Amino acid sequence: MSKTDVKQVILINCGGFLLKRGYIKPRFSDTSEHIGLTTIDYALQQNGFSNVHIFPKNAGAVINFAENRRDIANTLRKMAANEPGTIFGLSTTSGDYPLFIELSKLVRQEFPRAQIIAGGTHFVREKINGVRDPIEVALEENLADAVVAGHADPFVELVTQHHGQREKVDAPGFYLWDPSAKKVHGHSYGKFPQLEEVPYIFNPGYSRVSTMWDDICHNRCGFCTIPKGRSPLFSAETVVRTFQGLMPKVVIPAVLSLHDSNPFEPKRFDYYRTIFEHLPQFNYLPRKEAFIDPSLLVDADYQNKLIDFFNTHSFWSFFIGREVVSEHSSRLIGSNYRGKAKDQSQLDSEREALKQFIAALKRLAPPRRLVLSYILTPFETADSASAVADEIEMFQKLIDDKLNILFYPFPLMPYPGTKLRRKLLDKIADPEDYAKLDMVLNPWKKEIGRSHTFFDYAELFMNSQEQKYLLRNLRFGIDEILVRGRSISDILIG
């Protein structure tokens, strides 16, 4: 292959599509994946490769794949004018893996001479006897020509140093399939590209700037694969310089959406304070939103410190992973605080701290928004599920014109690379059926019983657009399935 073999790179965000008609997609993962693809774009541009397309172009613009397959193919054809020199980079989470499969098949059909390189958080190496991990499945089933695990540096190296010659890439995190030996070649995980600026997504019409400065969490929850990490992805100086340069581009004031996983841990608080204190020009981003670990709110003094910070720098929206309300569920799924499962005392303290946090937010102006997420497991009892419903009802009563609270119950999925997956492997119907990790299908064994049926039912109320119906539907499912033992068909017919 010659140095001119790579003509263009097309980066596809699998989270920007839908397969199921009427499904209400949570608006979190697709933007994070889009930030990841923007990072690759930045790195390629910095290394002199400029013919890069990201599809869909805008984060938050979700396309129904089933209804628009022909239009999607036509759009990609226009991008891939030089098919033999095209590399498609398909990025996916485990939740969007069914879309990865469909998009890979589409690319194979429409562009048989192009390369497909798969990446995203779904692709991890696992050593579980008798079970192929996601990398093995994607390569052996010809869904990809290579897989990048971890960060994107190997992909950048493939394009800018090896001109598309996959066999020459020996970077950590780059995996190939050996058909003769029927095994995967590759090692470790890819490094984060060295960048001179912080990637961000800015769509003027959407009035939002989305970015990620760091991706570290020291809780090491059993259901999560976010790394512990040791240092931020970017220095505070780099962040400040980047966003000072953004200011002239923002004509209409926009929301700054920070996608860092756990940004306000005490040891890292000074990092964020330094950034915001050195950016008085942030008045062009008058509202900011971020994730908060509820365990950080238990210390009253530290909560007050956070409230002052949020008030000073105009944070208006917060996503808090409450996750579980009982010690039983905490130990089952590994809802951890600094590596250890939260006991009931910790969980109760977090609930009380959330009440205080809500009261404090109501004293601020203008009105704020709070999003609380919960995890529903396939092992719920009437008591455990009712405890979640009771807490949601309690917090619902605190909604007023000064604070809106939204609730998102998510189904527990045994994602690749998690401790949870290893712990509950014997409860998974087919550990290699990664298409069932989409928060719509049920990956757990039916032998679990009533709670398995309740898990099936969860889709019916979790995807309701109307928050006002969520609690009613949740309690209905508890009563009909976990208490009375009715089936989904009985409920639908009735």
Ranges assigned E (strand) in 120-244: 146-148, 174-178, 183-185, 200-203, 208-211
The pLDDT tens digits for 25-57 are: 554 556 888 999 999 999 999 999 999 999 998
pLDDT at 1: 41
Q: In what order do the strands lie in the sheet with 86-91?
A: 52-55, 8-13, 86-91, 115-119, 146-148, 174-178, 183-185
The pLDDT assigned to 12 comes to 97
47 is written with which tokens? 């290394």
- pLDDT at 145 (0 to 100): 98
| C-beta of residue 144 within 8 angstroms of C-beta of residue 117 | yes
Res 2: pLDDT: 43
Nearest to 227 by CA among 214, 239, 236, 238: 214
Say if residues 43 and 193 touch (Cβ distance below 8 Å): yes
For residue 37, give every residue at least 6 positions away whose Cβ sits within 8 Å of its Cβ, in sequence order, or none: 11, 13, 54, 89, 91
The pLDDT of residue 266 is 92
Copy the structure tokens of residue 387.
Answer: 């405890």
**Distance, C-alpha 280 to centroid of its chain:** 30
E strand spans, 299-359: 315-323, 336-337, 340-341
Tokens at 179, concatenated? 């058909």
Residue 460: what pLDDT?
Answer: 64
d(CA 290, CA 337): 19
* Angle, alpha carbons 143-149-151 (nearest 5°): 130
β-pairing, 174-178 vs 183-185, is antiparallel
Q: Interior CA angle at 354 toward 228 and 477, to 5°?
A: 90
Q: Is the peptide bond before 56 cis (omega within 30 degrees of 0)?
A: yes
Domains of the chain: residue spans and CATH: 8-185 (3.40.50.280), 198-256+263-288 (no CATH), 293-412+449-493 (no CATH)
Query: Which amino acid belongs to residue 318?
Result: F
- In the numeric block, the tokens 């039916």 are attached to 446
Task: Report pLDDT for 467.
Answer: 80
Q: With residue 118 as reference, give the H or E element that holds it.
A: strand 115-119
| Token pair in block for residue 262 | 């756990």
Q: How far is CA 388 from CA 112, 329, 392, 459, in A?
A: 50, 11, 6, 16
Round to whole Å and give the CA distance between 360 and 280.
Answer: 24
CA distance 281 to 72: 40
Q: Give the gyration radius of the chain's Cα atoms.
A: 23
DSSP state of 131: B
The segments of the chain whose pLDDT lies below 70 read 1-4, 20-30, 205, 227-231, 280-283, 459-466, 492-494
**Rounded (5°) CA angle 146-147-150:** 150
Q: How far apart are CA 101 and CA 175, in angstroms?
A: 18
* Structure-derived torsion over alpha carbons of residues 430, 433, 438, 439, reported in degrees to the nearest 10: 0
pTM for this model (two decimals): 0.93
